[in-house]
Amino acid sequence: MLPLTFQIPADYDKIRPDDKISIKGLANFTPGKPLSAVVKHSDGSKDDFQLNHTFNETQIEWFQAGSALNRMKELQ
């Protein structure tokens, strides 16, 4: 789970209960750089959003490994 916030708070109101959300840019997940989301609505329309995070480099490594424990095991 990623704690993300909308770069533009009003974008939150564009999300509908039956939407499908894809997070883009996780391969290049870096501290201080926003992620992108593509929201596909059930009517076929789409919206793109920028999402902020507060992860540092270590937390990103934990996320990419699946957990802090997994990352520690990788480093052994």
pLDDT tens, position by position, for the chain (76 residues)? 899 999 999 999 999 999 999 999 898 999 999 999 999 999 999 999 999 999 999 999 999 998 989 999 999 8
Residue 50 belongs to a domain: yes
**Does some domain include residue 73?**
no
Region for residue 25 given its phi and psi (left: phi exceeds 0; alpha: psi -120 to 50; beta: otherwise): left
Question: Is the separation of the CB atoms in 22 and 35 below 8 Å?
Answer: no
Given a contact cutoff of 8 angstroms between Cβ atoms, the answer to whether 36 and 46 are in contact is no
* CA–CA distances in Å: residue 21 to residues 51, 65, 68: 12, 22, 25
Q: Which domain holds residue 27?
A: 5-66
- Three-state DSSP class for 8? coil
Kindly state whether residue 40 falls inside one of the protein's structural domains.
yes
On whether residue 51 sits in a domain, the answer given is yes
Q: How much is the pTM?
A: 0.82
Whole-number pLDDT of residue 1: 84
- Domains of the chain: total: 1
Residue 30 lies in a domain: yes
Residue 72 falls inside a structural domain: no
Contact 22, 38 (CB under 8 A): yes
Question: Considering the domain boundaries, does residue 71 fall inside one?
Answer: no
